[in-house]
Amino acid sequence: MKSFFLRTSLAAGVAVATAFSAFAGALEAPIADPVPPAPPPPAPLLAQGGEWTGPYAGLQLGYGDVNGTGAADGDDFLYGLHAGYDYDFGTFVLGGEVDYDATDIDLNGAATVDSVARLKLRAGYDFGRALGYVTTGLAEVDTSLGSESGDFYGIGVAYRITDSYTVGAELLEHSFDDIAGSGVDADATTLTLRGAIRF
């Protein structure tokens, strides 16, 4: 009988020791293979450089100052609309635009300027959210004396508030000779604030 109790006690002790060692081993944290860190998300497109390719259309509001032959000078507000298309080559942006401004500039009673339309070529540098550019092209002025074609040049800037909305400003210098055969020449400066939706 003693032998039976002795064997039973030994077997129970071995079982308890085995279970304890297995339980103790289970308390140790398993060693896992290191996980490489996730790559950072790509920077937003506009932080790297803007994407200016595509059409746009918008409105402008500004001021025009006309210096004509003799006393044919005047200035007043103007307002209008514009539409164009840009192509972004990376840092260089090339585009074309048409715009139209209505106004009512009285040239000291010699004539009035009613509107000016422009066909533009513009080239600029992509700063990311901002686009700085130079522009030139043909202009058509409509006055009480008649209409006349001329040329213009200028500078401008556009800034992206969102991916689809921009604000900006543009300064243009115009030259018109012998308006409608009247002998009146005129140089005009316009400064406009612009807002556009890009599609």
Question: Quick check: 85 pLDDT over 50?
Answer: yes
* Helix, strand, coil percentages, rounded to 5, for the chain: 15, 60, 25
| pTM of the model as a whole | 0.75
Model pLDDT, residue 52? 96
Token pair, residue 53, equals 């390719």
Per cent of the chain over pLDDT 70 is 76
Give the CA distances from residue 81 to residues 47, 88, 181, in Å, rounded to whole numbers and listed in that order: 29, 23, 29
Model pLDDT, residue 38? 72
* Tens digit of each residue's pLDDT (9 = 90 or more) over 41-56: 655 444 445 699 999 9
Q: Is 65 helix (H, G, I), strand (E, B) or coil?
A: strand
Q: Is the dihedral of CA 185, 189, 195, 196 positive or negative?
A: positive
Class at the top of the CATH hierarchy for domain 50-198 = mainly beta
Query: How many other β-carbons are positioned within 10 Å of the β-carbon of residue 137?
Result: 18
